[in-house]
Amino acid sequence: MSSQQEVDDAEPEGSKRKRHGMLKMYYGIEQSGGATLDPCDINGAHFEADTYLSNLIKQRSLTELMDEETKMVTQIRALDSDMQTLVYENYNKFISATDTIRKMKNDFKKMEDEMDHLASNMATITEFSGTISNTLQDRRQQITKLSGVHALLKKLQFLFELPARLNKCIEMKAYSAAVRYYTKAKRILHQYQHMASFQGINEDCNKIIHQLCDHLREQFKDKESTPKQLAECVDLLLQLNEPAEKLCEEFLSHARQKIDEDLQLLDRQIRLQSGEEIKSEGETAAQAYLATPMDVLEFVDTGCNGFLSNICLVIASYNDMFLSKPQEDENMDAIALKKLVFFVNELMEKYFNYVQRRVRLERGTGDNTILVRSLDRFHRRLQAMNKLLPDTDFSRAGTDIVSKAAKDRVGHYLQSLKQHFSDCMTDVRQNLAAPRTIGKHDSNSYLNDLLNNTQTAVVDQIKSVLNNLQAFLDSDITFAMKPYFRGPFCVQGVREGLIVEFLNHISSTCLEFCEDKDKGSAPPALLLILSKLCIEFESSTISYLLTLTEEQFMMTERFPVTSVTDLCNNAKDAAQKLLNHFVKVQGLSISQMLRKSVETRDWLNTIEPRNVRAVMKRVIEDITAIDAQVGQLYEEGVRKERSSDSSRRTHPHSYMGSAALRKGGQWNYAPSIDNSLMSNIQKLFSEKIEIFSAVEFSKVSVLTGIIKISLKTFLECVRLRTFGRYGLQQIQVDTHYLQLYLWRFVSDENLVQVLLDEIVCSTVHRCLDPAMMEPSVIDLICERG
């Protein structure tokens, strides 16, 4: 309890409680539970320390009293600390308040001195005013009367001098001063025109005013008059009570003469840009300069500084003269506004047409900065015009022109990309047709190089176009951030109208090469390159280009778009059809050789075979060349496992009637029936071979398709001929030679074996003297060949 007593001795308890309450009141801290009369409530206003202490001693033990003491000491220290913190925090405020109060005392002391001085001055003024009033009191009425007579004489003098003043103003062309003088005296002249003296002045003034109106109308009709001069003329005529509606029409009619000259200049520039020859004589240097074609930025600046500036000046002047001033006729404002809106809309429609025509003449595929800057200036000026004429919305029409210009640029770039792709195809065809004197290493990758060059050229051209179109979205372009421009331009214009449309064009163009009637002369290597190009686009290029487009143009608008999957499917379908067509073309080319070799030979009277026919060697050479071509672009593919003796299993057909053929080379009836029956049974259980089935994107599959078509043609040609003994043996030699080489090109060597067996069997059935050659002899001929 010693600490509590020290605090109480240092400061009276009532004073401390009062200070604590004042601080709470100042900072708006409310007492919880409201006011209470309990003398033991240490936080209450009626707290009594003695009562509280006696109750504590009675109710608490010694330990609890010591704890309570410790708690109270802690609270007292906390309150003292809070008090010191509050004083420290508000010290600067207290000092500043003290300085302010001291300064206010000084200022008020000075103000009291000034007020005393002012009061003394006011007293002096009042004294002088009273003295003057007393002095002039007797003469006041006389002075007032003389002043009125003097003013009347000045007015009469002005009226008598008015005709001369008006003539002098007309001579000096100070028309506004003449109108001001006349309007000032008109009411008085009209009021006293029944008096002879005033009647003469009124008649003279009317004649002079008629002359003044004639001068104003002449100036009004002068083509050299500026819009400001026209506005002044109209204003003066209105003050002279000329009909407002007629003046509206005349003002707009004469203002149009100057504006039409601006439009004629724009029309002339468009014709110059279009290449038309304009003959003109006696031109000044300025006119000769204007006769040279301007770029689109100069054209827009000329239109803005000439046409738009003049029409804005006309609108502003018209508003000041006819719309802002009160009219006697209540309907005059509506009539005048209607005439102005019709006048402006008609001229703006012509101006918009000129701007559209000039923008369409921009055919360059390079940087769009100048075009975009010109469109931006055009758009800005139109937005300013809306403030002059609120009943029209030229900014929307201007935005439509800007959007159409951007759309035209996208369409122009699309045509440029199509032409570039066509040029790439022409370059590929020329490179394929040109003779090559290159090394073996280069020839193995020649088609792959052409493919890479074509793909790189197309992608680079698309990137260049996208970079050029980004000028429409620069941050300092006013219309670039407008949602009604940005969304359609980025999504419907660039993504769908340019990239998607061009990718579809590539697919459709490639498919045209599959149509024999139009693109039948396309070299097979071109078909192969295009099919691989479509596959490359399907696998990565399409996705890359669309992602690049969406990132560069920040497409966040939700518009219906063509999915990447659809584009990839189109490219893959085109690649499949091109590859199928390549197989068909190459298969028919080899088939043509085989067909001619079969049809032009006399198989009944041919000599005994001593070597392989040259056409078979040519077939193997062509297929080997095709294999090398396809291998440059496509992977090997999957083959079925072949037996280790594939190269030796070359006589599967030797079982066919071998016993009967040894007997004098004659077919017996029963063996023939057995052989036919065995052949048909074998066909029933053999797998059906689809000749023109779709090929896979691998070298083995492509070569398999070509060989199937070739051997099927060989088989059908054999079925249409009749053979002798040596003809049959020649077919044996040829098919054995084919078997030696063709198995390595196909995915399943059994397929080649089956087709060759059918050829030999068909030849046996159409042979008049079916005597088979010994396998050893066939091997010897083929090895020698």
Q: What gap in Å lies between CA 368 and CA 281, rounded to an integer?
A: 36
Q: Which residues contact 689 (CB under 8 A, 6 or more apart)?
A: 708, 751, 754, 755
Helix axes 244-273, 196-221, angle to 10 degrees: 10
Question: 8 in helix, strand or coil?
Answer: helix
Q: How far is CA 78 from CA 29, 84, 528, in A?
A: 17, 10, 93
Average pLDDT on 75-87 reads 86
Question: Any long-range contacts for 330-333 (C-beta under 8 Å, 24+ apart)?
Answer: 332/244, 332/245
Question: Contact 633/428 with Cβ under 8 angstroms?
Answer: no
Give tens-digit pLDDT for 46-61. Answer: 888 888 888 888 888 8
Q: Which pair of tokens denotes residue 155?
A: 């007015």
Average pLDDT on 664-683 reads 43
Q: Which pair of tokens denotes residue 275?
A: 């290449």
Neighbour-count burial of 174, counting CB atoms closer than 10 A to its CB (0-12 exposed, 13-18 middle, 19+ buried): middle
Question: Contact 548/466 with Cβ under 8 angstroms?
Answer: yes
* Residue written as token pair 């070298």: 699
Q: What gap in Å lies between CA 350 and CA 270, rounded to an integer?
A: 13
Task: Return the CA Rg of the chain.
Answer: 55
Q: Which pair of tokens denotes residue 143?
A: 């002075």
DSSP secondary structure code for residue 555 in this structure: -
Taking 90 as the threshold, does the pLDDT of residue 44 lie above it?
A: no
Question: Helical H runs in 600-668?
Answer: 614-633, 658-662
* Residue written as token pair 């001098």: 161
Q: What gap in Å lies between CA 72 and CA 79, rounded to an integer?
A: 10
Confidence of residue 8 (pLDDT cuts 50, 70, 90): very low
Q: What pLDDT is stored for residue 68 in this prediction?
A: 86
Query: What torsion, rounded to 10 degrees, do the Cα atoms 102, 106, 108, 112 define?
Result: 150
Question: Contact 368/469 with Cβ under 8 angstroms?
Answer: yes
Q: What pLDDT is stored for residue 318 in this prediction?
A: 80
pLDDT: is 508 or 136 the higher one?
Answer: 508
Question: Contact 530/513 with Cβ under 8 angstroms?
Answer: yes
Question: Any long-range contacts for 39-43 (C-beta under 8 Å, 24+ apart)?
Answer: none
Of 55-64, 496-505, 642-651, least confident by mean pLDDT is 642-651
Average pLDDT on 546-569 reads 83
Q: What gap in Å lies between CA 451 and CA 532, rounded to an integer?
A: 8
Question: Contact 410/595 with Cβ under 8 angstroms?
Answer: no
Using DSSP, how many helices (H) and how many strands (E) does the chain show? Answer: 31, 0
Average pLDDT on 259-263 reads 87
pLDDT: is 425 or 290 the higher one?
Answer: 425
Q: What pLDDT is stored for residue 458 in this prediction?
A: 93
Taking 90 as the threshold, does the pLDDT of residue 503 lie above it?
A: yes
Average pLDDT on 375-399 reads 79
Side chain identity at residue 102, one-letter code: R
Q: Model-level pTM greater than 0.85?
A: no
Q: What gap in Å lies between CA 564 and CA 547, rounded to an integer?
A: 10
Give tens-digit pLDDT for 576-632. Answer: 999 999 899 989 999 999 999 988 898 888 888 888 899 999 999 999 999 988 888
Vertex 244 angle, CA 240 and 249, to 5°: 125
Q: Which residues contact 768 (CB under 8 A, 6 or more apart)?
A: 604, 722, 723, 724, 725
Average pLDDT on 102-125 reads 87
Average pLDDT on 738-766 reads 87
Name the nearest CA neighbour of 207 among 239, 167, 244: 167
Q: How far is CA 386 from CA 354, 380, 390, in A?
A: 20, 11, 5
Q: How many CB atoms lie within 10 A of CB 758?
A: 23
Confidence of residue 504 (pLDDT cuts 50, 70, 90): very high
Q: Which pair of tokens denotes residue 664?
A: 């004098």
Taking 60 as the threshold, does the pLDDT of residue 368 lie above it?
A: yes
Taking 50 as the threshold, does the pLDDT of residue 230 lie above it?
A: yes
Q: What gap in Å lies between CA 747 and CA 636, rounded to an integer?
A: 10
Question: Contact 752/707 with Cβ under 8 angstroms?
Answer: yes
Q: What pLDDT is stored for residue 40 in this prediction?
A: 81
Q: Which residues contact 387 (CB under 8 A, 6 or more apart)?
A: none
Taking 60 as the threshold, does the pLDDT of residue 758 lie above it?
A: yes
DSSP secondary structure code for residue 455 in this structure: H
Side chain identity at residue 580, one-letter code: N
Of 82-91, 172-181, 298-307, which one has max mean pLDDT?
A: 298-307
Q: What is the mean pLDDT of the chain?
A: 78
Question: Contact 735/613 with Cβ under 8 angstroms?
Answer: no
Q: What gap in Å lies between CA 546 and CA 556, rounded to an integer?
A: 14
Question: 37 in helix, strand or coil?
Answer: coil
Q: What pLDDT is stored for residue 490 in this prediction?
A: 86
- Share above pLDDT 90 across residues of the chain, in percent, rounded to a whole number: 12
Taking 70 as the threshold, does the pLDDT of residue 649 lie above it?
A: no
Q: How many CB atoms lie within 10 A of CB 772?
A: 23
Taking 50 as the threshold, does the pLDDT of residue 664 lie above it?
A: no
Confidence of residue 420 (pLDDT cuts 50, 70, 90): very high
Q: What gap in Å lies between CA 358 and CA 689, rounded to an integer?
A: 64
* Residue written as token pair 């340019």: 498
Q: What gap in Å lies between CA 172 and CA 169, rounded to an integer?
A: 5
User: What are the phi and psi torsion angles at 514 (to 5°)?
Assistant: -85, -10
Q: What pLDDT is stored for residue 289 in this prediction?
A: 52
Confidence of residue 653 (pLDDT cuts 50, 70, 90): very low
Of 198-212, 487-501, 718-732, least confident by mean pLDDT is 198-212
Give tens-digit pLDDT for 9-37. Answer: 444 555 555 555 655 655 555 554 445 57
